[in-house]
């Protein structure tokens, strides 16, 4: 309702003559008047049509003025209404206190002068308009807070996406080189504190440059993504699978010996070798070479472990590719004292670089 529109007043009285007289007077004073014969009827009017000011008699059938006040204050569907209750002056003061406790905002003693009623209504108008301003400001505050909350959630989601992008290789969805070094550092620190084993597997696609040169980089990307999926599916849940270069991958093996990692590497090599990559009418089969290394007492940092795995990988390449080589020099078979999970088994060995047949 615009401020220029006449303010709506609900008059509640079970006396028809008094109701008609008050309606004529308030209408002549510029108010839009609604009427009700009792509290029950008044509640229906307030719910369906609404009125910011209510002038009600105290004593009425079905629902009296006090019950009406309580009902208005308890009803969530009725906005703020300024309630003036009309009573006889001879009523005790404690009854007026009871009226205010019930939710009345003002009262009139009968008989009253019309000017006194208008003065009470003007005071009620000011309170109603102030309440509307407060409600409007509260709505603005809620809207502003909601917008801030939405913006905060969008910012948090954007930051999370940026963090994910900073940790993830865009093509394959694997952990990227930066995050791989962080994970390897964490695993190194854990192994150093607990004294447990730590191994890693360096993998490289064999003759990947020929694939790109022959079929193009789009097919090369398919090969990389397919290989990444196989590695991720074949690795254990606690083994970070990382893409650290063009066709270079790294798998970190926490709590794993070199022998255990060797068996895992052979499992990965076989999974890649037996997989047929379909792209349109093209069917490709690729192989990988792998180098395995375990953290040793003479290594000073994770870079030494990576370097050892890379050297074993180069040895696998030199040995003809599609094979697994180990960086360790111990000329022994893994014993029953070695810790294996349900996927791993002992691997035969020879001299300085051991080979798992592929």
Structure confidence at residue 32 (pLDDT): 93
Which one from 41, 247, 258, 266 is the annotated catalytic residue? 247
Residue 316 pLDDT more than 70?
Answer: yes
Q: Which CATH class is domain 177-356?
A: alpha beta
- Give the lowest-confidence range in 66-75, 89-98, 240-249: 89-98
Per residue, what are the HEC states of the chain?
Answer: CCCCCCCEEEEECCCHHHHHHHHHHHHHCCCEEEEECCHHHHHHHHHHCCCCEEEEECCCCCCCHHHHHHHHHHCCCCCCCEEEEEEECCCCHHHHHHHHHHCCCEEEEECCCHHHHHHHHHHHHHHHHHHHHHHHHHHHHHHHHHHHHHHHHHHHHHHHHHHHHHHECCCCCCECHHHHHHHHHHHHHHHHHHCCCEEEEEEEECCHHHHHHHHCHHHHHHHHHHHHHHHHHHCCCCCCEEECCCCEEEEEEECCCHHHHHHHHHHHHHHHHHCCEEECCEEECCCEEEEEEECCCCCCCHHHHHHHHHHHHHHHHHCCCCCEEECCCCCCCCCCCCCCCCCCCCCCCCCCCEEECC
What are 212-263's pLDDT values in tens digits? 999 999 999 999 999 999 999 998 888 999 999 999 999 999 999 999 999 9
Domain map (residue ranges) of the chain? 8-139, 177-356
Q: What pLDDT band is residue 98 in, cutting at 50, 70 and 90?
A: confident
What are 118-174's pLDDT values in tens digits? 999 999 989 988 988 888 898 899 999 999 999 999 998 999 888 888 899 999 999
Average pLDDT of 334-347?
A: 38
For the whole model, what pTM was predicted?
A: 0.58
Residue 330 pLDDT more than 90?
Answer: no
Residue 333 pLDDT more than 50?
Answer: no
Q: What pLDDT band is residue 342 in, cutting at 50, 70 and 90?
A: very low
Active-site residue 247, yes or no?
A: yes
The CATH architecture assigned to 8-139 reads 3-Layer(aba) Sandwich (3.40)
């Amino acid at each position: 309702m615009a401020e220029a529109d006449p303010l709506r007043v609900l008059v509640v009285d079970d006396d028809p003559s008094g109701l008609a007289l008050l309606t004529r007077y308030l209408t002549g004073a510029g108010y839009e008047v609604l009427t009700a014969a009792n509290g029950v009827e008044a509640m229906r009017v307030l719910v369906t049509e609404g009125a910011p000011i209510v002038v009600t008699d105290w004593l009425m059938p079905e629902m009296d003025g006090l019950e009406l006040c309580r009902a208005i204050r308890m009803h969530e569907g009725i906005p703020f209404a300024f309630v003036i209750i009309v009573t006889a002056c001879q009523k005790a003061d404690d009854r007026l206190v009871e009226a205010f406790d019930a939710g009345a905002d003002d009262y009139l003693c009968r008989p009253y002068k019309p000017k006194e009623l208008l003065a009470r209504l003007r005071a009620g108008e000011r309170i109603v308009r102030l309440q509307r301003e407060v409600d409007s400001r509260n709505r603005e505050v809620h809207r502003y807070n909601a917008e801030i909350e939405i913006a905060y959630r969008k910012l948090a989601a954007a930051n999370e996406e940026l963090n994910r992008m900073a940790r993830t290789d865009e093509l394959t969805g694997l952990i990227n080189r930066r995050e791989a070094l962080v994970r390897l550092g964490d695993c190194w620190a854990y192994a150093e504190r607990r004294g447990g084993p730590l191994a890693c597997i360096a993998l490289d696609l064999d003759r990947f440059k020929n694939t790109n040169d022959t079929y193009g980089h789009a097919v090369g990307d398919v090969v990389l993504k397919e290989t990444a999926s196989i590695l991720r599916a074949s690795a254990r849940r606690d083994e970070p699978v990382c893409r650290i270069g063009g066709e270079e991958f790294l798998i970190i093996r926490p709590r794993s010996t070199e022998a255990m990692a060797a068996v895992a590497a052979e499992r990965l090599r076989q999974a890649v070798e037996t997989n047929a990559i379909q792209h349109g009418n093209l069917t490709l089969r690729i192989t990988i070479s792998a180098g395995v290394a375990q953290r040793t007492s003479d290594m000073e940092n994770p870079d030494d472990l990576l370097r050892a795995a890379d050297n074993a990988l180069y040895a696998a390449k030199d040995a003809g590719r599609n094979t697994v080589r180990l960086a360790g020099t111990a000329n022994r078979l893994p014993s029953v004292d070695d810790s294996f999970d349900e996927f791993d088994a002992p691997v035969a060995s020879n001299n300085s670089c051991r080979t798992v047949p592929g």
